[in-house]
Structure 1
Amino acid sequence: MVMKAITITSTGLELVDKDVPEPGDGEIRVRVLRSGVNPTDWKRRSATEPGAVPNMDGAGLVDAVGPGVLSHNVGDRVWVMLAAHTGPHGTAAEFTIVPAAHAFPLPEPFPYDVGASLGVPAVTAHRALTVAEFGPKRLSPGALDGRTVLVAGGAGAVGHAAIQLARWAGATVVTTVSSPDKAELATAAGAHHVVDYKHGDAAAEIRAIAPDGVDVIVEVAAAQNGALNQAVAANHATIAIYANNGGDTAAFDIRPHMMINARIQFLILYTVGEEALQAAAEDIGAALRDGALPVGSEHGLPLHHFPLAETAAAHDAVEQGAVGKVLITLG
């Protein structure tokens, strides 16, 4: 059996016919109906073996199960994560192969657009919200009661998920944005307070909201936001850095951070460990079932759909900073 797939070449991405892969021990095959595109997908292409299929995230139907798999059945609706990290079969294809442990229930009536928007953004957001010194280590309603969370870049995909998960867990959510349009999106996502850092005194505005400072900072641009984070961090605050937007080198003053026992925590999903991935997926599943993770413009995350043949254009859109979530539609 042959499928349509996108493969990585020395010059970019190419639509080809490939044999449909077979799942091995502990693996399942998923018929992909939506593939999510993340910044990591275009960034990793140059370091990926030619012929591999890109894209980490997706959603679809279980098509086959490998030996030893008892957790999934053919026909199950699932969302998947880290497909292109665990093997050569990413989600930019009609079928993908993933470890069964990296495919999670997508119950009715949640659409495939939602499932394909989880993965890297939601798991990253979960990790950022659960690395503070005094917890929580898991998210659930009430887990962040009494905490103030600052989400840098609330109109991005990770920022959107962080707003939704933090609010679901009971935090007071503050976010920074760069324009009125993005402020509307962050508000639609559920942020209690939105600060336009390009106009006015962002630190003063945040301190007016949280006089004692913010407890967790979900940081996308540490190189740019160091002074702001220092100005608004509470005692025992955690600055969770998940990206290097705006620069690869960040500097910070030692003594001010020392005096508040601040924690600067880096994170990336590829090496975070299976225990953290599974904990995130379980909590994300609970938030999903509670209706806390909707997508679309009305929920703060505009969707941009591309057909499989235009995956290169989808990657370009993400690289160029498309606001919202870029999805590839199959089936």
Structure 2
Amino acid sequence: MKAIVYRDTGAPDVLRLVDRDRPEPGPGEVRVRVAVSGVNPTDWQARSGIGHPKRFAEVTPHLDGAGTVDAVGEGVDRGRVGQRVWLFMAAAGRPTGTAAEFTVVPAEQAVPLPDGAGFDLGAALGVPALTAHRALTVAEDGPDRLRPGALEGKVVLAAGGAGAVGHAVIQLARWAGATVVGTVSSPAKAGLATAAGAHHVVDYRRGDPAAEIRRIAPQGVDLVAEVALGANLALDLAVLRTGGTISTYANDGGRPVELDVPRTMVLNARLQFLVLYTAGPRARAAAVEDVAAAVRDGALPVGEEHGLPLVRFPLDRTADAHRAVEGRAVGKVLVDVAP
């Protein structure tokens, strides 16, 4: 089979297209013929060696993808052969991710993809959608599961509403009944956040964004899903209601976080840091179930018309796909594995 590998961490040029033996599934595992592989910031960071120590002599990257189960290991229902699935965390703690024609994962990390949901959608779920779910379910007085109506009456602020996680936050929050406000940095990104389903979009680089958000939510925002805490914390605190939650999954831009402790205390605010990989199996399993339900309801479409442009590369240009993600390409970067 064809696979992308790297043996040393570094720039995208360390990625190589090679021939490898087709892997065999072990007990509790499935083998998937990969159609589309999704690329996340975590993938290029691991390849670069940033915060992710390399554990294996050779690594095939990428956590997310979609394809068809073509073999199962001992203890797995053989009826799963031929099932269309989306994959998450394929390369987490394992040397073989989805940047290959075949990959092997634990059976529970291959989630059935319903009829009508394409492989592009499946490959775009994984890290972004599961992270968005976690961000929306950590508030002290909010739900720990998502379903239609679970966020009824709540106001959710999706910071960076044109990004992959921000896009999923908007879609999941709207599916769950929240009023959704997206913040963006340009008119083009405002169009994407609106297409994703945001009820209101605010350009944080123009005018008085705090006043604009307060006009939308006079009592304050219930929950902020934050992508750039250092840059946005002052705005978040200016619009957060008493007892509200800021759930932060990234600090894009790397600006140091300066916390106004008295103000945060008076708000009785919750500042919740999160990362999918250490969230624990219970939280991840709940996220998978709820995201799968949203997919069945047609609540998580992708493509420019739905607010998430798809940026595509063939397998032999995976290095260029990594460069696109590192360069902050707008939309979801996908690698077409199958011809």
TM-score (norm 2): 0.95
Greater mean alpha carbon deviation, residues 67-76 or residues 303-312 = 67-76
User: Using a 3 Å threshold, how does the CA distance of structure 1 residues 248 and 24 change in structure 2: closer, same or farther?
Assistant: farther
C-alpha distance in 1, partners of 2:184/2:309? 16
In structure 1, the partner of 2:330 is 323
In the TM superposition, what whole-angstrom CA distance separates every residue of 1:46-102 from its partner, at most 9, and x where no partner exists?
233341100000000001111111386110000010001041110000011111111
- 2:42 aligns with one of 34, 40, 43: 40
Q: Are the equivalent residues in 2 in contact too, given 1:183–1:194 (CA < 8 A)?
A: yes
Alignment of 1:152-163 (within 5 A): 152-163=159-170
1:313 is matched with 320
Q: Give the counterpart of 1:292 among 299, 314, 323.
A: 299
Q: Provide the secondary structure at the position in 2 that maps to 1:304.
A: strand
For 1:157-196, list aligned pairs within 5 A: 157-196=164-203
Alignment partners' CA distance in 1, 2:255 and 2:28: 38
In structure 2, the residue corresponding to 1:19 is in which secondary structure? coil
Which residue is 2:274 aligned to? Answer: 267
Deviations 1:174-230 (A, max 9, x none): 010000000000000000000001111110100010011101100000010011011
RMSD: 1.1
Asked if structure 1 preserves the Cα contact closer than 8 Å seen for 2:231 and 2:255, the reply is: no
Matching of residue 136 in structure 1 with residue 127 in structure 2: no
Cα deviation code 1:129-188 (max 9, x no counterpart)? 000001200000000000000000000000000000000000000010000000000000
Q: In structure 2, do the counterparts of structure 1 residues 14 and 200 end up closer, same or farther at CA, with 3 Å as the change threshold?
A: same
Q: 1:136 to 1:72 in 2, by over 3 A?
A: farther
Tell me how far 1:248 sits from its aligned partner: 5.6
Q: Matched residues in 2 for 1:232 and 1:99: separation?
A: 42
TM-score when scaled to structure 1?
A: 0.98
- 1:62 corresponds to: 69
Structure 1: how far apart are the matches of 2:329 and 2:57? 26
2:246 to 226, 232, 239: 239
Q: Find the aligned partners of 2:130 and 2:6 in 1 and give their Cα distance.
A: 25
**Match of 1:5?**
3
Q: In 2, distance between residues paired with 1:86 and 1:171?
A: 35
2:33 maps to 1:31? yes
Q: Kindly state the Cα deviation for residue 246 of structure 1 after the two structures are TM-superposed.
A: 1.5
User: Hey, what does 1:21 align to over in structure 2?
Assistant: 23
**1:93-112 pair list within 5 angstroms:** 93-112=100-119
**Aligned with 1:44: secondary structure?**
helix
The answer (yes or no) to whether the contact 1:237–1:263 under 8 Å persists in 2 is: yes
Q: 1:232 to 1:71 in 2, by over 3 A?
A: farther
Deviation larger for 12-21 or 63-72: 63-72
Secondary structure of 2:166 counterpart? helix
Given that 1:72 and 1:100 are in contact with CA atoms closer than 8 Å, whether structure 2 keeps it comes out as no
Query: What's the secondary structure of 1:150's corresponding residue?
Result: strand
SS in 2 for 1:107: coil
Aligned length: 329
Q: Could you tell me which amino acid in structure 2 is paired with residue 115 of structure 1? A: G
Quote the Cα distance in structure 1 between the aligned partners of 2:221 and 2:6.
42
Q: Could you tell me how far apart the structure 1 residues matched to 2:233 and 2:197 are?
A: 25
Pick one of 47, 58, 74 that aligns with 2:81.
74
Whole-angstrom CA distance in 1 between matches of 2:321 and 2:271: 33
The one-letter code matched in structure 1 to 2:227 is: V
Question: How far apart are the structure 1 equivalents of 2:159 and 2:316?
Answer: 33
2:135 aligned with 1:122, yes or no?
Answer: no
Gaps of 5+ in 1: none
1:8-51 CA-partner distances (Å, limit 9, x unpaired)? 13252111111111111111110000000000000011233341
SS at match of 2:92: helix
Identity percentage of aligned residues: 64
**Distance in 2 between the 1:302 and 1:50 partners?**
35
**SS at the partner of 2:15?**
strand
Letter in 2 for 1:166: A
